[in-house]
Amino acid sequence: MLGSVAAALWWGQERIIGLFVQQANHYLRTPVQVGKIELSLFDQFPRVAITMHRVVVTGSLPHDTTALARARRLYFAFDAWDLLIRRYRVRAVTLTDGQVAVRLDAQGQPNYDVLRMDTAAAATDEPFAFDLEGIQLGRMGVTYADASRHQQFAGHIPQMQATLSVKGDEVTVRAKGETHVQALRVMDDAYFQEKDLLLTTHLRINRQTQQIAVLPSEIRIGPAIYGVAGTIGYHPATLLDLRLEGRQTDVQSLLALLPPRLNHRLAGYRSRGDVYFRGTVRGEFSTKVNPRLDVQFGCRDAAFYHPQYQQEIEHVFLTGTFTNGTAHSVRTAMLDLRNVRGQLGGRPFSGSLRYTDFQEPTVQLQLAADLDMARATRFFPVAAVRGATGTAQLSLQVAGPVAHLRAGRAANARGELTLRDVAVQLRAYSQPLRRLNGRLELRGNNITMQSLKGYLGRSDFRVNGTLKNAVSWLLTPRQTLLIQAQMNSNLWDFDELLRLPTAMPTPARRGGRAGGEYALELPATLALDVQTNVRHLRFRRLRGRELRGTVRLRNQIVSSPALSVRAAGGRASIRGTVDVRRPNLVKVSTTATCTQVPLDSLFYVFEDFGQRFITARHLRGQLTAQIESDVYLDGALYPLTDRLEAEVKATVRNGELNNFAPLQKLSMVANREQLRHLRFAELKNSLYVQSRTVYIPEMDIRSNVRTASLIQVTGTHTFDQQMDYHLSIPLLPGLLRRPDAAGGTPTGPRLLLAVRGNEQDFTVRYDRARAQLVTGARPETGSPSAAPATRPPAATRPGILGRILSPPVRSSEGTVNTRPAPAPRKPAPKPATQPQPGEYFEF
């Protein structure tokens, strides 16, 4: 029998293929390209198949170069019994290993209008006709693009079976199979990303009324079942009347359908209990009109949790609705959540939300919650918070347009947050906020702080005040938050407060400096007006008390009209500004005064000002001074000494200079024991700092040494510890000296000395150049300047003297300098022969 069938096929295959091509052309509007057509007994056994290889179906859009379909093989199968009666009926179609691309152009015209449906019902007397009982797809890619609605679909069908029944004007399609959806894109959002679906559908198409009846159909995504039923009218416009329903759904199955923009923070959450939704879609769907969408959703006694965070909210009840309103647009859209309640860690919460007009939204929110901060931050993590503990009670009522909230017109915003022993560890800072207690009250756009107290590391604070423009600052970028408050504290530890918040290396640390671990970072959107009262403050060796004054911040510039503090055994007052607008070039401009500050304490606190020549163990006395300075710091708060400018007006009373090695060089004029403890009643002078050099104008030091009771000193001292001091010491007691011509200081024989070198290697010599200047002689060629500079040049004095700065110059180390630092002075060469005793004196 098989041999007979095979022979009949071989004998009649040309006739059968010819009949098939002739009949198929009755149904086609567009060309179909086929690489090869053959008749096979085994491809669709037990049925006989016409097999078409390398099939390309052209789309119906004019000038369309994209094929509607491509397939490696296309099988049309009919029963072997038809061979005997010679009435061939195609019973099944199988399409494998191909791609179907459905498109609609910008005018809504499709590319799939390739069949003449008016000939679908074949005449019974035709020798070859289509009578499909089954359609099978395998390994087929499917894409859909609607240029008019900006919609795209991409998927893959591993296997799907369908049946097609044609009775007059009615076509019935049943389909069931697996589909992998890569994405369903609507505008810029992608839905159903990488989802495996099990599709079961039943459609009834009436060609006369041009309507599709969607009989109850289902889409399964995991355990969730989404049902759809209704009607779709497809001519002349698309008219929808569909009913949607979700069964066996949970929060993860619903969130998985949404685009990443909407679900990226919630996609990992899971739920237990009854989560449901149902809705309707009714109306015209076109490029200009959207259908009416109404959805009801909610949950009953459900639980929500995240597997990673090991926290869940329980006994959750929720009733919600969504609609796009009477105008079927975002202008009339509304989201309404009612009767929301549940528990987190046994603590209750409740609330409601009404959100209308998605284009210019208006919100009505009510929320009440008793929060365990540790559980709350673990259940819903905040990126800036590493962890939290303690409890808080929150109540909040907000009503009005969101635009008014952002613009600071939140007249209908009310709320209260009470903190009880709350601790918060921020990710950006190593110091935790802990033991927070107090109350915050929201009134309109402002938040009032009432008895808010806590600790930041070891530093503590107690604040009463107002956060102005707080709601706008939270909701709108680049809004400014103004804090007006009274702050009291027992301790401010700046060693902690100025620590770098992260472990990222700063330029200073990369350069190899040790301990470069400070930073001053102030956001541009923060403003302060704070009255401070701090009992104790610490910074390195500094131990201050009673810090009082006003601190203001505007546009990243900190200023204070007056700050006073007790430190180093005296009292100081400071006014000035700190400009941090350039993170790697912080400018500090201050005017400071100090009264009765012990010199040894001052040098100890400031770590001997970075030098070892004159240290705290050498000095005694009480300092009263006024200091005007411009100091520049890099990103790690290291001073840029090339830019430092200062003027210091100082008075030292009851001073002592003890065990100072250079004074021992003067043993020819005084006893070593007296020089070891040099005392002076008062010393007044002004010092100038510029270009890494301290300029010391000539000053008189009246000491306890009888033979050198009045010492005149002038000179310079660089930050590289290069010294150039000039001393004038009288050699006769005061009673033996005669008054000068103007009746001023008595004159007499003086010893002129020059101290040059550095801390480790210095010399004390007879100042020959100055002696020649005094006697009117001309200095020798190549000798040091007879009149050392004791002030900066007039054209380049410190900014506080003339505020005249040179153009910035970039140094080789990368720092910005106002001018190149002067070359270090070389120590004066040692004379070949020792001077004779007579050369020490000038009369």
691 found inside a domain = yes
Q: Please report whether residue 594 resides in a domain.
A: no
CA-closest candidate to residue 538, choices 456, 605, 590, 592? 605
Cα gap 91→93, rounded to integer Å? 7
Q: What is the DSSP letter of 343?
A: E
The domain total for the chain is 2
Query: Residue 725 pairs with which residues in a beta bridge?
Result: 715, 755
Can you tell me the distance from the alpha carbon of 344 to that of 752, in angstroms, rounded to the nearest whole number? 86
Q: Nearest CA to 614 among 511, 536, 725, 495?
A: 725
pLDDT of residue 704: 66
Compute the residue count for the chain: 843
3-state secondary structure of 14: helix
Question: Other CB atoms closer than 10 Å to residue 187's CB: what's the count?
Answer: 10
Confidence (pLDDT) at 193: 79
Q: Look up the domain containing 129 and give its range.
A: 1-149
In a domain, 777, yes or no: yes
Could you say which of 149, 183, 218 is where a domain stops?
A: 149
Residue 670 lies in a domain: no
Q: Would the pTM count as exceeding 0.75?
A: no
For residue 774, being part of any structural domain is answered with: yes
Residue 510 within a domain: no
CA distance 92 to 607: 96
* Residue 552 structure tokens: 């203001």
Residue 393 placed within a domain: no
pLDDT digits (tens, 9 = 90+) for 54-112: 988 888 888 777 888 888 988 888 776 666 666 667 778 888 888 988 888 877 778 87
Query: Which residues are paired to 452 by β-bridges?
Result: 463
Maximum Cα–Cα distance for the chain, whole Å?
A: 155
| Contact (CB, 8 A) for 461 and 434 | no
C-alpha distances (whole Å) from 770 to each of 746, 765, 780, 833 are 19, 12, 11, 19
Nearest-angstrom CA–CA distance, 202 and 754: 110
Report residues of the chain scoring pLDDT below 70.
Answer: 1-13, 42-45, 80-88, 115-132, 262, 264-265, 267, 410, 500-516, 610-611, 613, 664-670, 703-709, 731-748, 773-843
Average pLDDT of every residue of the chain: 79
Contact 90, 132 (CB under 8 A): yes
Three-state DSSP string of 585-654: CEEEEEEEEEEEEEHHHHHHHCHHHHCCCCCHHHEEEEEEEEEEEEEEECCCCCECHHHCEEEEEEEEEE
- Shortest CA distance to 701 belongs to which of 692, 691, 689, 709? 709
End-to-end CA distance of the chain: 149
The answer for residues whose C-beta is within 8 angstroms of residue 496's C-beta and 6 or more apart is 431, 456, 457, 458, 459
Q: What φ, ψ does residue 12 adopt, rounded to 5°?
A: -110, 10
Q: Which of 149, 173, 206 is the last residue of a domain?
A: 149
- As a whole number of angstroms, the distance between CA 280 and CA 245 comes to 9
Q: 692 vs 492, 798, 839, CA distance in Å?
A: 32, 11, 34
Domain boundary among 87, 118, 149: 149
Number of H helices, E strands in the chain: 12, 40
Q: What angle do CA 506, 507, 508 make, to 5 degrees?
A: 90
Q: Provide the token pair at 91.
A: 């019973």
Going by the DSSP 8-state scheme, the letter that residue 673 receives in this structure is: H
By the 8 A CB rule, do 426 and 384 touch? yes
The CA-atom distances, in angstroms, between 524 and each of 94, 470, 471, 527 are: 67, 15, 17, 8
Q: Which of 656, 595, 600 is nearest to 627 (CA)?
A: 595
Give dist(CA 177, CA 197) in Å, integer. Answer: 8
In a domain, 561, yes or no: no
Per-residue confidence (pLDDT) for residue 238, from 0 to 100: 82
- Residue 778: count of CB within 10 angstroms of its CB: 8
